[in-house]
Structure formats: C-alpha cells, structure tokens
Structure 1
Amino acid sequence: MPGPVVVGVDGSPSAMAAVDAAAREALFRGAELHVVHAFIWPAMHVPPGASPLGPPAGGVREGVEHLLHEAVDRARFAAPGVRAASAVMPGEAVAALEAESRTAQLIVVGHRGSGGIRELLLGSTAVHLAAHGHCPVMVVRGRTEPEGPVLVAVDGSPQGREAIAFAFAEAQLRGSELVALHAWTTWSDHGESGPGHPVELVDMIGDVEQMRAAEERLLVEALSGHRERYPEVTVRPRVLRGRTRPTLIEASERAQLIVVCARGRGGFAGLLLGSVGQAVLHHANCPVTVVRSGL
C-alpha cells in the first residue's frame, strides 16, 4: 500500500506554501497527508511547558501544537476532503524527514525554512533531502498555482527513466499536459566515448542537422513505453539547442511543476545531486520534484 504524503513545517512562509502543495498532492493520490514538525527540546534550553512567570499557554510545546493545528487547517482549506494528521518528530529536521521518506510516497518541503542565512536561495533541509531522500522530494518555490504543464527534463540517461515515469504519473494526476524537454549543444556527447572524452572537432563543426536529428531520436526513445502506459496524457516533446540549466529554468516560467532526476549524464559519479538538479532547485520559477533512481 502506498505511503502518505509528508510535509515538513517550521512556521516559515515557505513551509506554509509547501502545506498547500502537499495537501493537493495527497488529494490527487488518495493518500493521507502527514504534517510533521521536527524539534529537539533540550537544544532550546527551555522547559517544554509554560514558564511559571508567563501565561499558562505560552510554552514551547503549546507553540508547536498551535503551528501544527494551523498547518492542518490550512491543508484542509487548500484541498477540501484531504485526510490530514500531524505529529512532532524528535530530532533535527533533516534526519526526521529523511527517516519519514523511507515510508512516504512523496516528501514536500519549502525551499527555505525559518533558520539559516536569509540570503541563501535554498535551505539545507531541501538540499539534503533532494540528495538523500528515499522517495521523490518536492521543493516548493516560485509560482505555486497549479496552472500550466508538468515539465520533465530528459537527458537520455538510465538514471532519468524514473523521473520520466514520475512526470507522466504526475501529469495524469493533475490532468495537465506534459512537456518533455531535451536541451543539447554541439558538445553533447551520448556516444560510447563516455564522460571525459571530448567530442572531436570535426564532429563539433560537422552536420548540425544530423546532430539535431540524433537528439530528437534520443527524446523519442526516452519517452517510448511511457506514452503507451499513459495514453490519456498529452505529451509535447521539445528539443531545444542550448545549455540545459538556463533552458530548463526559462521553461519553468510557464510550468506548474518541473521534474528532474537527481543526477543524470556527466559530472562526477560520486555526486548524489547533479549540477542540473542543483541549478533548478535554486532558480526554478515553479515547484521542483527531484527523483532519485534505484529507490
């Protein structure tokens, strides 16, 4: 049986926007929504209950319970009919949410929490979960209205297959169009030479149209099988010549969600989150879902 949709809250505006998105996701999937707040009581150096010098309802525990109650109410308003429950999880937010991801079907967080440095574009919790979560992780940022297509980044890598499958399923749940975008340049290398072997100069300045045709075939092959499984999803393949990161970020301006794999072609094999995933998480204009392969 599929697990719940889990959303982490800390009282920040970003987290509350994540509650809205998570509630809609849970309703789409017919899943229960778990609203969780992670907290380490001893680290606060204050008693969890009310201070004897303050009002009876002024303790840290009461504040957390009020936060969770507010978040659940907000979830039910955003997605009437959603089944929602809340819990305080012991420990740090990163560790608690990573543990929740082992049984969840989706983890949802805001792009920045209430802590950290204000100038940072992306909080440490979102970065860690995108790289280490045991289920797909949605980071809510930018324009959050569920309007426009679902956008999936396609690079033809084996690691990207699960992201494509997730994007098809998500488009079906949302009743939206799916845009499958593949960006390429004359330095794109999908041959047998592998990473670290640059494209020969004669190939780089050769028949660009032939290269374009090869990239179009790559996209068709990457989508094969998924279209048959989701015949009701309207798919719009797009092959664009340009650098992947800025192309995806620009395309996200018109999307309601962008789906990327954690690490695709290129880069260092030891990285859990590739440069494209990191760039999109930091700069996309809509929510981002990162799908790790082999989960």
Structure 2
Amino acid sequence: MANPVVVGVDGSPSSLHAVEVAAREAGLRGVGLRLVHAFGWPSMHVPPGGPPWNPAAAGVRELVDGTLIEAEQRARRAAPQVETTREVTVGEPLMVLEIESRSAALVVVGSRGLGAFGSLLLGSTAVHLAAHGRCPVLVVRGRPDPNGPVLLAVDGSPAGEKAVEFGFAEASMRGVDLVALHVWNTWSERAYEGPGDPLNVVVDIERLREEEQRLLDDTLSPWQERHPGVTVQRRLVRSRVRPALIEASREAQLVVAGARGRGGFTGLLLGSVSQALLHHAHCPVAVVRGGKRER
C-alpha cells in the first residue's frame, strides 16, 4: 500500500485548512489521507472533568470525535475520492508527527493552532519538524495564488536535488508551470549593483553569471527530461536570496525548497533560507530534505 499523506489536526481553523490542502495532495498522489490528533500535556485544551492525558476522560472523547468528524467532512468536500483514516494517540504532537513522517508520503501542518501546534511559525515547531521529518513537510500559510505556478528554489547543491524532484512532481500533478528561481550574489547577502561597486572591479561578474546560469541549467535538465509535460520558467536573479524568494512567493501557489543548501554549516539540518520561507512566504511552503547525508 502506498504511503499516505499525514496531516496534524487539533481543531483550529488553521489545521482544518491544512486538512483540505492535505486531502487535495492525497488526491493528486492517489493515496490515502491520515488524520492525526495527539494528546500531550499541556498541549490539549479540554473541558473540566478529566486530565488531558486520558482520552477516555469526561468530555475529552466527545471533543476529539467532534474535531475529527469536522476534519473528515472537510477532507471529503475537498477530495471525495480519497480514503480517510484517523489516528488518536497520546504523545507530544511534534514527536508524534515526526514518527508519522517515517511512513508518510508527505506531512502537512497548519501555520497556527492550539496547544503545541499553536503559534507554529512563531516558535520552533515547524522548523524542527521540517528539519527532522523523514519525508517532505508542507506548512500551509499565506494566501496562495490558485492559478499561480509552483516556485522552486534552486541552489544547485546535492542536498537540494530531492527538492528539485519534488518541485517537478508537484508542478506535473497540479498541471501548472514550474518557476525555477536561482538567486545568486557575490560574497554576502548585499546586492551589488553598478560599475562603481568595488567588487565589480576585481570580480568578473559576467563570468560568474555564466557559471550560475550553467549551474541552473545543469540542475534542471535531467528532471525536465523526466517531466516533458512540465513547462519550466528558468529565472536567474542577482540579489539577496531570502528577500527575492519571499517576494517571488507572492505569485505562487506553492514554494518548494531544500532543507539545507550551498554554504550550509555541516550538521545544520535546516538552512536560513528555508527558515525564512517558513516564517515569511506568501504561500504554502514545502521543505524537502536531501536524504541520508542530511540525517
């Protein structure tokens, strides 16, 4: 049986929106949807009458059932053909989702929630899950353009190859263009412009531009051959990386990035670009880890 799409559910509006997105993702893949609700102390807001670590306590089971029933209804409306299952478990939600990611095709979470899912992007929860999850993690945030392309952040690193693969697959399944954006600069996050800039005197900018274009082309070519039906817009931009990607996400329905790219410190599981997108992108963000070398 194919691995399902897993979504974290806590009853918050954000998590219910994530359920709808996850259902559509499951429908695109032709796999099942798994609704996961975790009890953890002090993550669960429950009515008086029973401790939150006891799902059978007075009022708690009814609360959970109501939450999951609404989530199932949302999922069926979004993707009626998708088979949906439930999982209610005791444990800290972050760890539960991390374990679920070991047998999932994709884990989807909302950007705001209740308890441990709450303030997801204001704390370390989304960052931790994106860094340690065993499958791609999709954080539902922003106001995506439903007619926009999939935006792929290309850095040319070996660690980013899985993100390129994921980006092509998403564009193919959604039937939209793939905008492959490679942002380059010289030695820092400052954008150098004009012939009077000192670096333009000592650095052959045109040669660097040609090398970056070659890197972009070499990264995309193998995957474009595997997905001939995907229209790819190759964009090479000389700018600061994080602001350029965040701005480009305004016109996208999804942005895809690797967990860690070129220049990342050894052992660092999530790079600054991925973290910036998780906090500030204008559309949902999928973070894709590169494989065994990042684990």
Query: Structure 2-normalised TM-score?
Result: 0.87
Alpha-carbon shift at residue 119 of structure 1 (Å): 7.1
Corresponding pairs, count: 277
**In 2 relative to 1, CA 135–207 (structure 1 residues): closer, same or farther, beyond 3 Å?**
same
Distance 1:19 1:92 in 2: 20
Q: Corresponding residue for 1:62? A: 62
1:248 aligns with 2:248: no
What SS class does the counterpart of residue 24 from structure 1 fall into? helix
Alignment correspondent of 1:284 = 281
Supply the AA of the counterpart residue of 1:127. Answer: V
Distance in 2 (alpha carbons) for counterparts of 1:266 and 1:241? 17
Query: What aligned pairs does 1:223-262 form with structure 2 within 5 A after superposition?
Result: 223-262=220-259
Over 3 Å counting, the alpha-carbon distance change for 1:269 and 1:231 in structure 2 is same
1:118-157, aligned counterparts within 5 Å?
121-144=121-144, 146-157=146-157
- 1:22 Cα deviation from its structure 2 partner: 0.2
- Percent identical pairs in the alignment equals 61
1:120-159 superposed Cα distances (whole Å, 9 cap, x missing partner) = 7435432221010000000000014532000110111110
The CA deviation at 1:2 is: 2.8
Once residues 138 and 119 of structure 1 are traced to their aligned partners in structure 2, the CA distance between those partners, rounded to angstroms, is: 16
Secondary structure, aligned partner of 1:10: coil
CA displacement 1:176-208 (0-9 Å, x = unmatched)? 1000000011227xxxxxxxxxxxx77774322
- In structure 2, how many angstroms separate the alpha carbons of the residues matched to 1:269 and 1:14? 34
Aligned twin of 1:269: 266
Tell whether the 8 Å contact from 1:112 to 1:123 is kept in structure 2 after alignment: no
Residue correspondence of structure 1 range 64-79 to structure 2 within 5 A: 64-79=64-79
Structure 1 runs not aligned, ≥5 long: 52-58, 189-200
1:9-53 Cα distance to aligned partner (Å, 9 max, x none): 1111211111111010000000000011001389875264464xx
Is the 1:122–1:281 contact (alpha carbons within 8 Å) kept by the matching residues of 2? no
Map of 1:104 onto structure 2: 104
Assess, with a 3 A threshold, how the Cα gap between structure 1 residues 119 and 14 changes in structure 2: closer, same or farther. closer
Does the 8 Å contact 1:39/1:92 carry over to 2? yes
Residue number in structure 1 paired with 2:194: none
**Cα deviation, residue 218, structure 1:** 0.8
RMSD after superposition: 2.3
Contact 1:149/1:255 (CA < 8 Å) preserved in 2? yes
Instruction: Specify the code of the residue in structure 1 equivalent to 2:208.
Output: M
Query: Structure 1: how far apart are the matches of 2:213 and 2:150?
Result: 20
Please list every run of at least 4 consecutive aligned residues from structure 1 whose deviation after the TM superposition is greater than 2 angstroms: 40-51, 115-125, 144-147, 201-207
Secondary structure (helix, strand or coil) at the match of 1:237 reads strand
In 2, Cα distance between equivalents of 1:146 and 1:15: 19
Contact 2:43 2:114 in 1 (8 A): no
* AA aligned opposite 2:225: E
TM-score (norm 1): 0.87
String of CA shifts for 1:95-141, please: whole Å, max 9, x gaps: 11111101101000012221369877435432221010000000000
Q: CA offsets, 1:44-68, max 9 Å, x none?
A: 75264464xxxxxxx1111011101
* CA distance, structure 2, for counterparts of residue 31 and residue 19 of structure 1: 14
- The separation in 1 between residues aligned to 2:245 and 2:202, in whole angstroms, is 25
Matched residue type, 2:238: R
